[in-house]
Structure 1
Amino acid sequence: MSHPKNSNFHLLMFPWFAFGHMTPFLHLSNRLAERGYSSTFLLPIKAIQQLQHLNLYPHLITFHPLTVPHVEGLPEGTQNASDIPIQFTYLLAAAMDRTRDQVERVIRDTKPKLIFYDVAHWVPEITKAFGIKAINYSVVSAASIAIVLVPARNVPKDKPITEAELLVPPAGYPSSTVVLRGHEVRSLLFISQPFGEGITFYERIYKAMKESDALAIRTCNETEGKFCEYIGSQYGKPVFLTGPMLPEPPKMPLEDRWVKWLSGFQPGSVVFCAFGSQIVLEKNQFQELVLGLELTGLPFLVALKPPMGAATVEEALPKGFEERVKGRGVVWGGWVQQLMILEHPSVGCFVSHCGFGSMWESLMSDCRAVLIPHLGDQILNTRFMAEELKVAVEVVRDEKAWFSKENLSKSIKSVMDKGSVMCSMLKENHRKWREMLNKGLMNSYVDKFIENMHELVN
């Protein structure tokens, strides 16, 4: 659907400086540009170089470089979250806040109709002065927002939230299946940790959502409708849904090395494992992971960052591992074309951390899903996939959040054994969801989202 006023309907995009946030914002820009909407995209200089190839409409989407100011304690040259260990992220948030003058200048110069932002809680203060509407765009699951980031959670300012408090769902939470375990709750305590100067993660996101003119969420009514309604009622805001905002199929082919390697195996027989751009495992967990994949007896491709204390993945591999899996197992420390690997006919299982992007890629692919979440929203995404939608298996872990090679192997075998009840159930549920989330439905979400944008500014 093309709107007659779209040529004058300029947008400004200002996502958090992490690829899991910047790329969904860019996918949204692409889908809107497809219908004639132009946007200015505010990004750190280095991120522009890395995301340039994903800008499908360079005549409509302009990248505006931001200089990331230095903050004491932040490693020199840091521009986005994948440049640093996760414990430094709060300093990157402080650096982002110091770009406020640059952002305000761009708003003044471009005079957008709307600005989309996520963690920069101060954006509405600027837009109100200019009479511009601001949409808070969440690229994590509605289920995770509904359990952690609603006013009913009422995180105290003067003291950190406790494990016991987090174990209790907030008032009115619309699901009984997301039951948290002790070690998972500990990973959710980040919400009361600093995220910038003089502000906690919860305070920042709560304010960013509360001060917006509308909330947008990267999800669908079909999967998370009840959570979206709950969030809207909690914040007293209109909630617009974009659909999952997956990228268009890449124009560049899968690298030859992977085409050749994957094509040597039977259809649906290869296990692919990847944990995104930020997860770095401890060495013994890294070894347990690859040994678990070896134990399956299946061909596998692992794409992970080198574990802590190792310069390369090769030096961290268990003794004798490479010789034992030669010809059927590859551990790769570099970047891979994840979406294209998942689409290869030889790949039948995706072992992931269940970041929200990977969650949707898994749901829309043909692969069976085995999940090993690491951080807050990944845990809630995993519970949603495994217990609400029943399309995935979660690897069992102990109270310290460690998984064994035996449990990993058992989970993979349970979804890859075509004769098992578990495999049949997951496959059937997955098929139903994939058919429902077809391209026509995704396009209708974008059309509806455009209507919502126009209604907001009129």
Structure 2
Amino acid sequence: MGKQLHIVMFPWIAMGHMTPFLHLSNKLAERGHKITFFLPNKAKQQLQHSVLYPSLITLHPITIPHVHPLPLGTETASDIHLHLTGHLATALDLTRPEVESLIKGLTPKPHFIFYDFAYWVTEIATELGIKSVHYNVVCAASLAIALVPDRNVPRDRPLTMEDNAQPPPGYPSSNVVFRGSEARHMLLLGMEFGSGLTFYERITTAMKLSDAIAIRTCREVEGNFCDYMSAQYNKPVFLTGPVLPDIDDNIPLEAQWAEWLGRFEPGTVLFCAFGSQFILEKDQFQELVLGFEMTKLPFLLALKPPSGCASIEEALPEGFKERVGERGVVHSGWVQQPLILAHPSVGCFVNHCGFGSMWESLMAASQIVMVPQLGDQILNTRLMAEELKVGVEVEKAENGWVSKESLCNTINLVMDQGSEVGCLVRKNHAKWRQIMVNQGFMSGYFDTFVKDLEMIMGT
């Protein structure tokens, strides 16, 4: 190993950002590097158990100031509704004096600071002679379509759907795009997102001011998008690979799931998980669970109670539990997703195609069905379904509704051993999975990433 690096991590204060930053920290600490990780106190309590190298990784709590109209005690994006997130960015910016003081007091002096939304840390880093790396935990395709200088989001007027209908000049894919009304997801770019900046200005400024851009992806999957980003920002783009946490062989699958999954034949169980922030309306929730019932296959659904419901039980359709009996389980608590996906009985993974689930589905042996909701999930899905052709997206109605028939038909399509589509995605998935599980693939990316950091340290 070369010189020990000291790296400060300061991600956006949302679990979907802090968790991947911590996975990255564990990988760096595994190679002997020291990490100081800034995060809210509440998040420290939630993430402490995920620190694999406590002698090298220090979780340092920071105070998130109160900003009106956020509820008192708000510390992370999980505490608030999506429409208040811009105010949370204001709170993030108000941490600057504390963050600057903490960085100046660190020993040894950090070599790098990794960040994403806090663009102003680059000014602190420059003053102290520290290199800054803008680390992105979403796919390169979504960055390339939305967050590049050539997108040229207007400041003098609100964005319109027409502004977003086309990708920026030179965007390297005609498949990984928004279609029709999906362009509404781009309207966020023009919204104020703390400190008088729009979301677009915040992130593009953060990337422009960095010494390097890093992306949680691999060249085999998104190389063309990474090259486009490098050209747009005229700076190096380093790739970490997917950076998934290793499965601990000493932690078994919980007994209730091991016993239940063990009842079924290999490759027959449908597993569905939509992430920690995916909350459905009650009608859509019921439509989805009825779609799983229609498949006649065993299923395990890990879903949050829908809006307005205190529990899963009160949200289930009338007579549902009696009809499905022991072949179907709808669970609202946390589950060991990677261990469930690794179980031989699981034959299909129905997911929202968040970036973490995207990589987990590629690494698993089961078929892939995708039901995206938010902007980057839609682009992740297009990447999987239309570029890599490893899974199938569930068709939606014009209003974004997923019908039980559409869900059932898509699942049956990929599960049918004789269907042309099922055979195609099964073959392509097996090819990509073989690349990624190949010994040395993940570690090779990370070894190269550390060398890239060392290369720019002296520049």
Question: TM > 0.5 between the two?
Answer: yes
Partner of 2:73: 77
Q: Which moved more, 1:68-77 or 1:262-271?
A: 68-77
Partner of 1:420: 419
1:20/1:311 Cα in 2 relative to 1: closer, same or farther (>3 Å)?
same
Matches within 5 A, 1:24-173: 24-110=20-106, 111-173=109-171
Partner of 1:252: 251
Post-superposition offset of 1:84: 2.2
CA contact (8 A) 2:29 2:56 kept: yes
CA contact (8 A) 2:177 2:379 kept: no
Partner of 1:449: 449
Post-superposition offset of 1:263: 1.0
Q: Which moved more, 1:45-54 or 1:114-123?
A: 45-54
Partner of 1:277: 276
Give per-residue Cα distances to partners, 1:284-316, cap 9 Å, x unaligned. Answer: 111111111111111111111111111111111
Give per-residue Cα distances to partners, 1:326-384, cap 9 Å, x unaligned. Answer: 10111111111111111111111111111101100011111111111111111111111
Q: Which moved more, 1:415-424 or 1:189-198?
A: 189-198
DSSP-derived class of the 2:168 partner: coil
Residue type of the partner of 2:213?
A: L
Please give the alpha-carbon distance, in whole angstroms, between the structure 1 residues aligned to 2:315 and 2:90: 34
TM-score under structure 2 length normalisation: 0.97
Partner of 1:237: 235
Please give the alpha-carbon distance, in whole angstroms, between the structure 2 residues aligned to 1:317 and 1:99: 43
Please give the alpha-carbon distance, in whole angstroms, between the structure 2 residues aligned to 1:264 and 1:83: 39
Give per-residue Cα distances to partners, 1:62-91, cap 9 Å, x unaligned. Answer: 110112211112122222222222222222
Post-superposition offset of 1:11: 0.5
Post-superposition offset of 1:46: 1.4
Post-superposition offset of 1:403: 1.0
DSSP-derived class of the 2:72 partner: coil
Please give the alpha-carbon distance, in whole angstroms, between the structure 1 residues aligned to 2:321 and 2:7: 50
Post-superposition offset of 1:149: 0.6
Please give the alpha-carbon distance, in whole angstroms, between the structure 1 residues aligned to 2:13 and 2:447: 28
* 4+ residue runs over 6 A deviation: none
CA contact (8 A) 1:280 1:307 kept: yes
Please give the alpha-carbon distance, in whole angstroms, between the structure 2 residues aligned to 1:96 and 1:403: 36
Partner of 1:305: 304
Please give the alpha-carbon distance, in whole angstroms, between the structure 2 residues aligned to 1:188 and 1:344: 38
Gaps of 5+ in 1: none
Gaps of 5+ in 2: none
Residue type of the partner of 1:401?
A: G
TM-score under structure 1 length normalisation: 0.97
Partner of 1:321: 320
DSSP-derived class of the 1:327 partner: helix
1:140/1:439 Cα in 2 relative to 1: closer, same or farther (>3 Å)?
farther
Aligned-residue identity in percent: 60
DSSP-derived class of the 1:11 partner: strand
Please give the alpha-carbon distance, in whole angstroms, between the structure 2 residues aligned to 1:157 and 1:302: 43
Partner of 1:205: 203
Residue type of the partner of 1:444?
A: G
DSSP-derived class of the 1:103 partner: helix
Residue type of the partner of 1:176?
A: S
Give per-residue Cα distances to partners, 1:388-445, cap 9 Å, x unaligned. Answer: 0000100001111111010000111111111211111111101111111234111111
Aligned equivalent of 1:186, options 169, 184, 190 = 184
Residue type of the partner of 1:370?
A: V
RMSD (Å), alpha carbons? 1.2
Please give the alpha-carbon distance, in whole angstroms, between the structure 1 residues aligned to 2:87 and 2:257: 38
Please give the alpha-carbon distance, in whole angstroms, between the structure 2 residues aligned to 1:179 and 1:303: 29
